[in-house]
Amino acid sequence: MSAPAVLAAATIPDAVTFALAAVICVVGALGVVLMRNPVHSALALVMTLFGVAVLFVEQDAQFLAAVQVIVYTGAIVVLFLFVIMLLGVDRRERVLADTFRGQRVVALVLGLMVLAEVVLLARTRWTTGAHAVAGPLDGPGSNVAKLGRSIFTTYLIPFEVTSALLVVAVVGAVVLARRPGLGEPSGEAPDEASGAFPVAPGAGAPGAGAPGSGAADAAGAGTAERTAGAGAGAGAEVTR
Amino acid sequence: MSVHASWYLTLAALLFTIGAVGLLVRRNVLVMFMCIELMLNAANLTFVTFARALNDIGGQVAVFFVLVVAAAEVVVGLGIIVAIFRRKVGATADDAHLLKG
Amino acid sequence: MIHAAFLIPLFPLVGFAVLAPFGRKLGNPLAGWIATLLVVASFVVTILVFVALFRIAPAHRSVTEPWFDWISVDRLRVGAGLLVDPLSLTMASFVTGVSALIHLYSIGYMRHDEQFPKFFTYLNLFVFSMLMLVLADNFVLSFLGWEGVGVCSYFLIAFWFDRAEAASAGKKAMIFNRIGDAGFLLGIFLIFERTGSVQYTTVFARLGHVGTPSLVAIALLLFLGAVGKSAQIPLFPWLADAMAGPTPVSALIHAATMVTAGVYLMCRINPILHLAPDAAHVIAWVGVATAFVGATSACAQNDIKKVLAYSTVSQLGYMFLAAGSGAYVAAIFLMLTHAFYKALLFLGAGSVIHAMDEDQDIKNMGGLAKLMPITGVTFLVGWLSIAGVPPFSGFWSKGDVLQNAWAVTPALWVIGAVTAALTAYYMGREYFLVFQGQRRWVEARPEASHGPGNGESYTARGLHPHDPTWHMSVPLVVLAALAVLGGLVNLPFHPSLVFLERWLSPVVGATLLQHHFSVGAEWLFALVDAALAILGVAVAAALWRGSSDRPALEPRFLSMAWWLDAAEDRLVARTGEALASFTATVVESRVVDGAVNGVASLVRTTGERLRRVQSGYVRSYALGLTAGVVVLLAYLLVRVGS
């Protein structure tokens, strides 16, 4: 296995940092899987993400660490929480009982096998010795600059494609979160009628933040509609 | 510098496994989704590790894109989940079996 | 002039080609005259070619007229062409001659039939096929003619196709023929395989290289074909049933021409028979057995035409006896004279049937000789000929056959002689019942009638039997003359008189087994023959002149032709039917359908079982995915790690 200078002897602070961050990651992961309350799972996920961010910093990926915290933790997990609240799935789930017999056992076995295989793979030859394509990691210049240069020159096309992907995602989110259209049987309409919401089916959701005068059903469809607009997509506006 | 790369890889493998098992075991749709995020993070960690080990910024570029795509995926995925599961309270993944053959 | 031989089959083909599309427009009787004149033209050309061939020296009297390459595949080269030699010309001459007379007869006989033109279309096609058969220069072209006459026979037997018995008789004829044809074809295949050619001249030249077992096999296979076509045991039942067709058809096809095709074939392959004496013995014995069975069956028939049918079977048996004994000239001689007197007898019977208003039961006839003198006299001549009474032609020809049979083994002669006596007897019976004795038809009851759709009493209808029109009478007279004089072609008294023998010797000479007896022996044979004939005549006269009802002499065993048809039906037909119905019910529905349906239900069952994998549960799918990932990683591990 080739050993660039980057892999030179580790220092004590690095090792300690790594150990701590690793523990945080694992504990968080276990928390995600084992917590009964989904809100608790989400918070455990935050813990893991923070740990991973620390590990990114450890590995000279400062920009990514920042992005991880801002985007992943700050936006995506928040999104998760929104939806958890919206759907009211914060009820407790019986984690230990399972609908399918043997599913958990098989899952555990398969998981352990995957772990074993990946670990084994990690320990064998995993480099081809080919030259760096995108550019060296070390060397002068900030991480951001190197990253930026690489993205906007070598990987320009993937960059453009991902921006298109984002547009698609936004449009998809908007479409998915719309109120049911004409003729679609929905239990919501009668509930709406009593409220101050405009009933017009398919006329678009009553707008983000429409002055929904408290159609006061809690877990009912009314809330769903109102907050559907709010929860649809990262910052997308529901259009009429 | 930091510890040897293989430690990171092992950690990533562990995170991935935990995420996979969680996906298979949990019934709550959102928790399943979170487990997927866990697996993605494990992959990101691996990428970054290799970027460092091979002295190639391409690994970090990959993480960048993975992040973008994960974000987009979460958006759409949650939209779908909302669309399917808002009718019934406490719906689990097992309740969405209409595509039964 | 020899090169004009191609006209011989061409004329009737032209007739067919013209009459098939335009026959109905040409109508009655023009269509008939066109057909008849074309056959007459064919006859004239045959005589001219005959004369031209006569002028050539005997050694070179075998002229091949090639036309074109017919089949040319790898080693197989079949040409189409004519072989003009004494044998083929002899056959062609009497085929065209007798056909012409029968065409003329048919103009009168079928006068009232709506399908008059169609009849002549088929007749011309038949004559063409028969001529191709006898004039061809190779086995395959002969087979073409062979099949052609079979098909025309079917058409003509089932001519009145709205009669169930006629349609079924046509089918029966075709099927029995087919069995024989299979043998013929196998024989041709074997010939080609062993000698590399199918042309007569080439094949016969190469016989030296073929082993005897193959030759025996070839001879027997070709004989099987002849058995089918010429109604020998065991394939003869079709001939009696074929009497359901119009009488001119019976006369032409089932007396004079088609059924003799088998005998022609045996004579044509005489080099093979010479080298395969075992096969020749088989042929002789089958022939004589058939002769005997046919004669005994004819003794108990009540239908005027069925007597003649079984008589034909019997006479054909004689011809095969001759061919099998190596006496090919005798076979051809008998064929020639038989054509004359059998056609005569059939045409006479047709005249009687017309007079009796389609009633064919001889028990309902009687005393017609005075009312129909021409028919009566000619029928008498025919009877005496077939009986073998000297000096009619039958005496000379049958005598030749029996002599040569004795030379092979006396047992053959004995059976042949007994049969000869029976022949004289049963024909006499028919003659006396029809033409002599009481006029039973005057008071015949309706239920005794066998005529189609005729239920009224005769006395009310009032039959007036009389001689037919000239179209029908002239052929009768001509044939009678030929029957009387036919013997002249091969009189045994002096070597200069055996015209036929000398004429045919280039073809059959190398294998001619005509045994030479001392003059005294020949006179003895002749006397015995004559005595047998006169004995038969006398017995017939004694028994049948006075009375018409002797059931003791007409047992069912004989009238049903030794129950052979019924036996074959039981053995072959019923077995075939049982096999077919077994196949239809068991094999078809269980095996075949079962397999097909089984495949379908297998697919469906598999689909249903596999369907359960699609449970609709996301977590099960995820589990499957993970398992797949495990496998992939394992593969990677093995590849990368090693």
Contacts of C276 (CB under 8 A, 6+ apart): C212, C215, C216, C218, C219
Q: How many CB atoms lie within 10 A of CB C606?
A: 10
- Put simply, the answer to whether A110 touches C620 (Cβ < 8 Å) is no
- What average pLDDT does the segment C535-557 reach? 83
34-63 in chain B: CB under 8 A from chain A = 34-35, 37-38, 41, 44-45, 48-49, 51-61, 63
CA-CA distance, A107 to C280, in Å (whole number)?
Answer: 90
pLDDT above 90 for C527 = no
Domain assignment present for B98: no
Chain B CB within 8 Å of residue A60 CB:
yes
Chain C CB within 8 Å of residue B36 CB:
no
Q: What is the pLDDT of residues B45-82, one digit of tens each?
A: 999 998 888 888 889 999 999 999 999 999 999 988 88
Nearest chain C residue (CA) to B100: C616
- What average pLDDT does the segment C616-634 reach? 88
pLDDT score at C2: 79
Domain assignment present for B55: yes
pLDDT score at C393: 86
Tokens for A54, please give them.
């620390």
The domain locations on chain C are 285-446+461-553, 615-642
Nearest chain C residue (CA) to B16: C626
- Put simply, the answer to whether C637 touches A120 (Cβ < 8 Å) is yes
Nearest chain B residue (CA) to C610: B101
Residue C315 burial (C-beta neighbours within 10 Å; 0-12, 13-18, 19+)? buried
CB distance A225 to A200 below 8 Å: no
Chain C CB within 8 Å of residue B3 CB:
no
Q: What is the pLDDT of residues A43-102, one digit of tens each?
A: 999 999 999 999 999 988 999 999 999 999 999 999 999 988 887 665 666 655 666 777
> Residue C492 gets which letter from DSSP?
S
Chain A CB within 8 Å of residue C617 CB:
yes
Structure-model confidence comparison of residues A204 and C240, the more confident one? C240
pLDDT above 50 for C258 = yes
CB distance B79 to A176 below 8 Å: yes
pLDDT score at A199: 35
Omega before residue C234 within 30° of 0, cis: yes
> How far are the Cα atoms of C49, C239, C287, C337 from residue C294, in angstroms, in the given order?
37, 11, 10, 19
pLDDT score at C501: 77
pLDDT score at A222: 41
- Put simply, the answer to whether A121 touches C623 (Cβ < 8 Å) is no
pLDDT score at C104: 92
CA-CA distance, C529 to C293, in Å (whole number)?
Answer: 20
- Put simply, the answer to whether B97 touches C616 (Cβ < 8 Å) is yes
Chain A CB within 8 Å of residue C626 CB:
yes
- Put simply, the answer to whether A121 touches C636 (Cβ < 8 Å) is yes
Q: Which domains does chain A show, CATH number per domain? A: 11-141 (1.20.120.1200), 171-231 (no CATH)
Contacts of C605 (CB under 8 A, 6+ apart): none
- Put simply, the answer to whether B100 touches C622 (Cβ < 8 Å) is no
Identify the CA nearest to C346 among candidates C306, C385, C374. C306
Average pLDDT score, chain C: 86
Please report all neighbours of C, defined by 3+ CB atom pairs within 8 A.
A, B
- Put simply, the answer to whether A147 touches B44 (Cβ < 8 Å) is no
Chain B CB within 8 Å of residue C637 CB:
no
pLDDT above 70 for B90 = no
C469: amino acid identity, one letter: T
Distance from CA of B13 to the nearest CA of C (A): 13
Chain B CB within 8 Å of residue C608 CB:
no
Chain A residues in contact with C627 by the CB 8 A cut-off are 110
pLDDT score at B82: 84
pLDDT above 90 for A133 = no
CA-CA distance, C252 to C102, in Å (whole number)?
Answer: 7
Q: Which of A176, A184, A227 to mutate to test the interface with B (most CBs of B within 10 A)?
A: A176
pLDDT score at B41: 96
What SS3 state is found at C267? helix
Distance from CA of C611 to the nearest CA of B (A): 6
Chain B CB within 8 Å of residue C617 CB:
yes
Chain A residues in contact with C637 by the CB 8 A cut-off are 117, 120-121, 124
Interface size between A and B, measured as CB pairs under 8 A: 294
pLDDT score at A213: 39
CA-CA distance, C107 to C120, in Å (whole number)?
Answer: 9
pLDDT above 90 for C129 = yes
Percent of chain C predicted with pLDDT > 90: 39
pLDDT score at C618: 83
How would residue A208 be classed by pLDDT, with cut points 50, 70 and 90? very low
Chain B CB within 8 Å of residue C618 CB:
yes
Identify the CA nearest to C109 among candidates C443, C427, C470, C361. C470
Distance from CA of A66 to the nearest CA of B (A): 11
pLDDT score at A80: 92
- What average pLDDT does the segment C498-503 reach? 78
CA-CA distance, A76 to A42, in Å (whole number)?
Answer: 10
- Put simply, the answer to whether A87 touches B26 (Cβ < 8 Å) is no
Q: What is the pLDDT of residues B23-46, one digit of tens each?
A: 998 888 889 999 999 999 999 999
Question: With the CA atoms of C261, C264, C268 and C274 taken in that order, what torsion angle do they form, in degrees rounded to the nearest 10?
Answer: 120
Domain assignment present for B7: no
- Counting the structural domains of chain B, the total is 1
Chain C CB within 8 Å of residue B61 CB:
no
**Buried b / exposed e across C457-486, counting CB within 10 Å, b at 16+?**
ebeeeebebebbeebbbbbbbbbbebbbeb
pLDDT score at A219: 39
- What average pLDDT does the segment A97-125 reach? 81
pLDDT above 60 for A195 = no
> Within 13 Å and on the Cβ side, how many CA atoms surround C308?
34
Alpha helices in chain A (DSSP H): 12-34, 38-58, 62-67, 77-87, 103-123, 143-153, 156-176, 188-194, 221-231
For A8-17, which contacts have Cβ atoms below 8 Å and span 24 or more sequence positions?
Answer: A8/B1, A9/B1, A10/B1, A10/B2, A10/B3, A10/B4, A11/B1, A14/A58, A14/B1, A14/B2, A14/B3, A15/B3, A17/A54, A17/A58, A17/B2
Identify the CA nearest to B37 among candidates A41, A130, C388. A41
Angle between helices A103-123 and C618-641 (to 10 degrees): 30
Range of the domain at B58: 27-88
Residue C238 burial (C-beta neighbours within 10 Å; 0-12, 13-18, 19+)? buried
Chain A residues in contact with C633 by the CB 8 A cut-off are 114, 117-118, 121
Q: What is the pLDDT of residues C54-113, one digit of tens each?
A: 888 777 778 888 888 888 888 888 888 999 988 999 999 989 999 999 999 999 898 888
Domain assignment present for B1: no
pLDDT score at C457: 42
Nearest chain B residue (CA) to A185: B87
Q: What is the pLDDT of residues C292-331, one digit of tens each?
A: 999 999 998 889 999 999 999 999 999 999 999 888 888 9
Phi, psi (5° rounding) for residue B87? -75, -45
